[in-house]
Amino acid sequence: MPRAKTHDAITLALALPTFLLTQAFTGSRDLAWVVTLAMLFSGFLFNPDLDIPSTPYARWGPLRVLWWPYQVLIRHRSRLSHGLLLGPLVRILYFCLMLAVLGTAGILLWHLFHGRSGSWESWQQALALIQHLVRSVERRYWLALGFGLWWGAAAHTLADWAWSLWTQTKRLL
């Protein structure tokens, strides 16, 4: 498989074409930025190699501990990590779950330090705030974010596939 530096070079090389093609296709510079930045994030920090102790895993710094359960649960190069559609979807869902766990822990700690028990109303307020934030972003920006996250991961997986095909072809010759 290509090394992390090769994957990084591919990600960087795709940034400008991604921006230009997205802007040409959508007519929106804002959407082009969202897709391109999400693709860069996905290529450098959110790629399929989070299923092993890797360069992308190390880039999370102290927050890499969030990815340890993912590494335990997901087998390296399985469809759940390196699948073209399933891989990014699993990582997005896993990351949202981790954010929910951290948010819940934060609310519980806040209540603990302020001498209150967590009331149902405070949970409802937190959920209402999250729903408001999600709904306040236009649907096209969520789609652009999702596409960018997918494209960054797809570039990684396609490079892995191309590398495997190349090495197998070399062996046959």
pLDDT in tens, 58-69: 999 999 999 999
**pLDDT the model gives residue 130:** 84
Q: Tell me the per-residue pLDDT of 104-145, one tens digit each, with 9 for 90 and over.
A: 888 778 777 876 665 667 777 778 888 888 899 999 999 999
Yes or no: say if 47 and 67 are a contact pair by the CB < 8 Å rule: no
> What's the longest Cα–Cα distance across the chain?
72
**pLDDT the model gives residue 109:** 82
Mean pLDDT of 148-162: 95
As a whole number, the mean pLDDT across the chain is 91
Mean pLDDT of 5-18: 97
Mean pLDDT of 93-99: 95
DSSP 73-99: HS-TTSHHHH-TTHHHHHHHHHHHHHH
Contacts of 33 (CB under 8 A, 6+ apart): 19
**Of all helices (H) and strands (E), which one includes residue 35?**
helix 29-44
